[in-house]
């Protein structure tokens, strides 16, 4: 049976990187970054997730079909986020009064 056994050294290096990135995301959250907070937090979380997926979940040396499933997950998540946020972000852009005006993310209060 073909299988790739990762070295112990790599597993511990990945673990150290995950802990370092956790400390980084806590540190960054105390900085004054304004609107960049959410992108910074999501970028660091995505890096951590990528490390777990590639090494702990054996995807780096795994089947290409698994890569396809992961691409599908990211793609569909992206479709959901883009459609939801393009809807809520653009409410009120048109002048007429519609039911959609009742919930706007910018001036709801």
Using CB under 8 A, list all residues that contact another protein: 1-3, 5-6, 8, 11-12, 14-15, 18-19, 22, 25-26, 29-35, 37-38, 41-42, 44-45, 48-49, 52-53, 55-58, 62-63, 65-66, 69-70, 72-73, 76-77, 80-81, 84-85, 88, 103-105, 108-109
Is the CB of 64 or the CB of 96 nearer to another protein? 64
- In angstroms, give the least distance from the CB of 93 to another protein: 16
Q: Report the candidate in 19, 72, 83 with the shortest Cα–Cα distance to residue 47.
A: 19
How far, in Å, are 21, 48, 55, 72 from residue 8 at the CA level? 20, 19, 11, 31
Closer Cβ to another protein, 87 or 94, answer by number: 87
Q: How far is the CB of 43 from another protein (least distance, A)?
A: 10
What CA–CA distances, in Å, run from 106 to 17, 82, 88, 109? 38, 17, 9, 9
The rounded distance, in Å, linking the Cα atoms of 21 and 45 is 8
């Amino acid at each position: 049976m073909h299988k790739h056994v990762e070295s112990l050294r790599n597993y511990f290096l990945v673990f150290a990187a995950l802990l370092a990135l956790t400390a980084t995301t806590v540190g960054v959250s105390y900085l004054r970054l304004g609107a960049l907070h959410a992108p910074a937090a999501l970028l660091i979380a995505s890096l951590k997730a990528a490390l777990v997926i590639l090494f702990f979940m054996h995807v780096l040396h795994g089947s290409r079909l698994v890569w396809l499933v992961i691409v599908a997950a990211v793609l569909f998540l992206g479709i959901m986020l883009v459609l939801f946020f393009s809807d809520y972000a653009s409410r009120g852009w048109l002048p007429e009064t519609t039911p959609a005006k009742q919930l706007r993310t910018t001036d709801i209060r």
